[in-house]
Structure 1
Amino acid sequence: MKNLMKVKQTFFSQSSILVTGMLVFLSSCGNNQQQAEIPPAEVPVEQVKEGLGLSRREYPASIQGVSDVEIRPQVSGYLHKILVDEGAYVQAGQSLFKIDDRVYMEQYNTAKAAILVAKANQKTAKIDLDRKMEMVREGIVSDLQLHQAQASYDAAAAALAQAEAAAQSAKINYDFCTIKAPVSGYLGRIPYRLGSLIGMSSVEPLTVVSDARQINVYFNMSEIDFIQFQEKHAGSSVQEKLKHAAPVDLMVANGSVYPHKGRIDAVEGRFNETTGSVTFRAKFDNQQGALRAGNTGKIVIEQQYDKVLLIPIASTMSIQDKIYVFGVEKDNKVVQKGISVLGKSGTNYMVSSGISAGDRYITAGFERLQPGMTVLPQQTKVDQVNAQLQGR
């Protein structure tokens, strides 16, 4: 029994020594791992460069003819003839519609007959006046009778003038029965049909004539864009700045660009308080009639910026409407910088503030980095080539 107890004591003592040694070994291994340094991540880095930037802004636009004239009747009557078709191109002075003119023709004939009566009355009054003048010279009648004859003649002359005016008014109404185009252009929809009763109180016009040889394109610009527009162009007034503004393009509904450029020629006098925008007007030639009033599209304005800082859009991060770039300081520490942009130029941002030319920034792989981390900058192929060229 004593020998058995000694064997157990020896076994337990040796086991405790073995466990203690293993714990010491594991502890030393953990300390070595904690003491081991994590190597910095290699990231591609480039320097901020200045270059030529081309900003392209698009604004939804509506198209109208230079003159969109509503054609309305100036007399009432039944629509007797429609002499044109919807969408046709008409010349100024061309007949478009015909109102039943029989009533107005009779009114005109009556007015002309009234002229003949007035002329006869005037002639009779003139004969009486001449006779009274002769009798006064002979002393047969008094001057009072002569004055009465003169008054009768003046009244007859006034009645003739009144009859002539009434005849002229009747002729105008008679001519109004033929409705003519006041300007050249394309016709719109014709909502009325033969036999329709039309007049000046009609709600809808007979049609609309759009003079589309030139078209006006209206678009809205925000207050910030308007300020930048003024700062970009020379001149002491808005009109002078418009004269220095570059031509603009019109993108039509299918995405193609209208072949003729236009010029901005007017700006609304005040901002819309609801939308916070101001309306611009650009004028385009449209001799071939490719555009029609009522079309929609987009005005495309391009602005060139010389020596502007360019940062690839792919090398930035957007957080809550703010744009950031991950820069690399001299000690290779990562710093997150907020930048302000003027706009886009191709695949680049044009930067106005937040970073300077020559600053280093991480082009890719920055999503897993945190500010303050140390990185190992890795030159891109472009920077390597530039460095080689500078070394030569």
Structure 2
Amino acid sequence: MNKQPFLSILSVFFLITSCGKNDKSAQPGDAAQVKEYKTVTLQPQSATLYSDYPASIQGQQNIEIRPRVEGYIDKIYVDEGAVVKAGQPLFKISAPEYEQQVRTATASIKSAQASVSAAKLAVNKVKPLVEKEIISKYDLESAQYTYESAMANLAQANAALVNAKTNLGYTTVTSPVNGVVGSIPFRLGSLVSSANADPLTTVASIGNVYAYFAINEKKLLNFTEGKTPGNTLAEKIKNMPSVSLVLSDGTPYDSKGRIETVNGLINTETGSVNFRARFPNPKSIIRSGSSTTVRIPNEVKDAILIPQSATFELQDKIFAVTVGKDGKTKNTNITVMDISAGNYYVVTSGLKAGDQIVLEGVATLKDGSQIKANNQSTETVYADLK
């Protein structure tokens, strides 16, 4: 009769003991529950920083082609976007009056030449008679004046022919430079003159192109007070390294350029100043009007760099996660330069050499999280800086 209560008490005891063991094995913070994260110990690094600025492209020369004579467009020798050479015909203007002027001037020359010949004969005829005192010197002087007048008429006729030929030459409109033809608003048969508001077309000389971009006042001050050698702005520009161009599709242009000029005035509306860089364009890849990006390099030495993937943003602030000697994490607010080195931030405050930071999954870690640090070599982490 007493065996049943004893067995019930024994069963309860084993149940409590078993639950106690299960609870102990599930304690948080046990080594089996600590997650491993990749980390790196920060060391000063050298790198090239890049500043990107949106830029617009203009040809070295954008020349408006305008007619110098009035007439109807008889021929159009080129199409929009054609690459042309200096002196190549672009348009033919029908102006018959200039052909008539050439014919008239040519005839006038022949008439003047005949007058010169007749006047010269008269002088030669009168001269011996004067010498023999058969006639007076007045007759000789009169003949000489007639000869000089005939010579002047001949010179005038020659000048008229040159002018007529020049006007006739204006009926063929040629390209003044090597370049690319722009839009052509006129068509065959259109009446054109120098008074037209629109040019016949525009030829952009793109053997070299100019990239125009703007830098704000703060960056301009950093530039003028920076490490670029030179006492004046002109000297600093001359000593600047070559700059790169990134095309609209994101591909880098294969030729480097140079910054040539800086506008002397700051735009009061935007607080920026305009720069101009020149790039060679021998293959005519870049066209006037293109949208590109100018990339300016800046070398830094012994700087603290961290991968951008090792940071997260919160309320417009950038944070990195450091790891203490006890393996616990701490979210650290950092300040970085407004230009980056590829996929890396340049840290100006918040971190120092010797700090250990987490490289991945930082947004999910809270302050005081216990982790297992798998420290990576700096050569591995910063391999693409080399």
TM-based fold match above 0.5? yes
Q: In structure 2, how many angstroms separate the alpha carbons of the residues matched to 1:381 and 1:336?
A: 20
Summarize the Cα distance change of 1:222–1:184 in structure 2 as closer, same or farther, 3 Å threshold.
Answer: same
Alignment deviations for residues 94-139 of structure 1 (CA, whole Å, 9 cap, x no partner): 2221111422111110011111121122222222333333333222
The residue identity in structure 1 corresponding to 2:276 is: F
* Residue matched to 1:79: 73
Q: In structure 2, how many angstroms separate the alpha carbons of the residues matched to 1:299 and 1:282?
A: 11
* Residue matched to 1:281: 277
Asked if 2 retains the 8 angstrom alpha-carbon contact of 1:56 and 1:302, the reply is: yes
Asked if 2 retains the 8 angstrom alpha-carbon contact of 1:223 and 1:278, the reply is: no
Q: Report the 3-state secondary structure (helix = DSSP H, G, I; strand = E; otherwise coil) of the residue aligned with 1:345.
A: coil
Asked if 2 retains the 8 angstrom alpha-carbon contact of 1:75 and 1:176, the reply is: yes
* Residue matched to 1:303: 298
Alignment deviations for residues 203-240 of structure 1 (CA, whole Å, 9 cap, x no partner): 11112222333332222222333344452433445555
RMSD: 3.9
Q: Structure 1 residue 255 and structure 2 residue 250: aligned?
A: yes
**Counterparts of residues 183-332 of structure 1 (less than 5 Å):** 183-230=177-224, 231-238=226-233, 240-258=235-253, 260-273=254-267, 274-275=269-270, 276-287=272-283, 289-310=284-305, 315=311
Q: Structure 1 residue 382 and structure 2 residue 375: aligned?
A: yes
Asked if 2 retains the 8 angstrom alpha-carbon contact of 1:340 and 1:354, the reply is: no
Summarize the Cα distance change of 1:312–1:89 in structure 2 as closer, same or farther, 3 Å threshold.
Answer: closer
Asked if 2 retains the 8 angstrom alpha-carbon contact of 1:325 and 1:339, the reply is: no
Alignment deviations for residues 232-263 of structure 1 (CA, whole Å, 9 cap, x no partner): 433445555445433333222222223x1321
Q: In structure 1, how many angstroms separate the alpha carbons of the residues matched to 2:65 and 2:195?
A: 13
Q: Report the 3-state secondary structure (helix = DSSP H, G, I; strand = E; otherwise coil) of the residue aligned with 1:169.
A: helix
Q: In structure 1, how many angstroms separate the alpha carbons of the residues matched to 2:218 and 2:97?
A: 62
Asked if 1 retains the 8 angstrom alpha-carbon contact of 2:55 and 2:211, the reply is: yes
Q: In structure 1, how many angstroms separate the alpha carbons of the residues matched to 2:111 and 2:376?
A: 104
Which has the greater radius of gyration? 1
Asked if 2 retains the 8 angstrom alpha-carbon contact of 1:316 and 1:326, the reply is: no
How far apart are 1:165 and its partner, in Å?
A: 0.5
Q: In structure 2, how many angstroms separate the alpha carbons of the residues matched to 1:82 and 1:165?
A: 31
**Which deviates further from its counterpart, 267-276 or 80-89?**
267-276
The residue identity in structure 2 corresponding to 1:301 is: I
Asked if 2 retains the 8 angstrom alpha-carbon contact of 1:326 and 1:366, the reply is: no
Summarize the Cα distance change of 1:154–1:318 in structure 2 as closer, same or farther, 3 Å threshold.
Answer: farther
How far apart are 1:188 and its partner, in Å?
A: 1.7
How far apart are 1:183 and its partner, in Å?
A: 2.1
Q: Report the 3-state secondary structure (helix = DSSP H, G, I; strand = E; otherwise coil) of the residue aligned with 1:122.
A: helix
Q: Structure 1 residue 92 and structure 2 residue 68: aligned?
A: no
Q: Which of 39, 44, 54 is matched with 1:50 structurally? A: 44
**Which deviates further from its counterpart, 339-348 or 275-284?**
339-348
Q: In structure 2, how many angstroms separate the alpha carbons of the residues matched to 1:55 and 1:180?
A: 47
The residue identity in structure 1 corresponding to 2:295 is: V
Q: TM-score, normalised by structure 2?
A: 0.72
Q: Report the 3-state secondary structure (helix = DSSP H, G, I; strand = E; otherwise coil) of the residue aligned with 1:233.
A: coil
Q: In structure 2, how many angstroms separate the alpha carbons of the residues matched to 1:181 and 1:335?
A: 66
**Counterparts of residues 112-123 of structure 1 (less than 5 Å):** 112-123=106-117
Q: In structure 2, how many angstroms separate the alpha carbons of the residues matched to 1:88 and 1:328?
A: 63
Summarize the Cα distance change of 1:323–1:139 in structure 2 as closer, same or farther, 3 Å threshold.
Answer: farther
How far apart are 1:301 and its partner, in Å?
A: 2.2
Q: TM-score, normalised by structure 1?
A: 0.71
Summarize the Cα distance change of 1:365–1:186 in structure 2 as closer, same or farther, 3 Å threshold.
Answer: closer
Count, aligned residues = 336
Summarize the Cα distance change of 1:365–1:60 in structure 2 as closer, same or farther, 3 Å threshold.
Answer: closer
Q: Which of 323, 329, 346 is matched with 1:350 structurally? A: 346
Q: In structure 2, how many angstroms separate the alpha carbons of the residues matched to 1:316 and 1:346?
A: 17
Q: Where in structure 2 are there 5+ consecutive unaligned residues?
A: 1-36, 379-386
Asked if 1 retains the 8 angstrom alpha-carbon contact of 2:70 and 2:95, the reply is: no
Q: In structure 2, how many angstroms separate the alpha carbons of the residues matched to 1:318 and 1:228?
A: 28
Q: In structure 1, how many angstroms separate the alpha carbons of the residues matched to 2:350 and 2:134?
A: 114
Summarize the Cα distance change of 1:50–1:269 in structure 2 as closer, same or farther, 3 Å threshold.
Answer: same
